[in-house]
């Protein structure tokens, strides 16, 4: 079967809904979003925060207990840059695609079990 378009993705994307804390690099501005999908080189999330293409971000993903074998959530820190915006999710904000430049799995998690995460 031949595809009618050229697929540019090189890595698998996983449909994960994870809480992500977004901080605009070099500022104190913080927002929260929910991912739609995640890959090794990028992620796509929805947010009500205006983020211009090219904006550098410091993101922290919350990997909940149910997705792994540890007793508490794990925080994953990422350096990212906005590469695409999609306004199709007007009730949930804007869809934002980011390219990941670095990922750090060594972040300690001080969130209590069953904590209410902000949205």
- All structural domains of the chain: 19-107 (2.40.10.220)
The percent of residues in the chain predicted with pLDDT above 70, rounded, is 72
pLDDT score for 35: 93
Residue 66 phi, psi dihedral angles, 5° rounding: -65, -15
pLDDT score for 90: 63
Q: How far is CA 63 from the centre of its chain?
A: 11
Per-residue pLDDT, averaged over 9-37, amounts to 87
DSSP symbol at 66 = G
Under 8 Å between Cβ of 8 and 60:
no
- Residue 15 and residue 65: Cα distance in Å, rounded? 17
**pTM of the prediction?**
0.76
Under 8 Å between Cβ of 95 and 86:
yes
- Residue 90 and residue 94: Cα distance in Å, rounded? 6
pLDDT score for 9: 54
Cβ neighbours for 1, distance < 8 A, ≥ 6 positions apart: none
- Residue 22 and residue 49: Cα distance in Å, rounded? 9
């Amino acid at each position: 079967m031949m595809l009618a378009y050229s697929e540019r993705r090189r890595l698998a994307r996983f449909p994960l809904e994870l809480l992500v804390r977004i901080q605009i690099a070099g500022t104190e501005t913080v927002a929260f979003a929910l991912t739609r999908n995640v890959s090794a080189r990028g992620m796509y999330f929805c947010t009500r925060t205006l983020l211009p293409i090219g904006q550098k971000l410091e993101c922290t993903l919350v990997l909940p207990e149910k997705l792994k074998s540890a007793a508490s959530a794990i925080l994953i820190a990422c350096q990212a840059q906005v590469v695409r915006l999609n306004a199709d999710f007007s009730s949930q904000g804007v869809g934002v695609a980011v390219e990941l430049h670095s990922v750090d799995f060594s972040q300690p998690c001080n969130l209590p079990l069953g904590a209410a995460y902000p949205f």
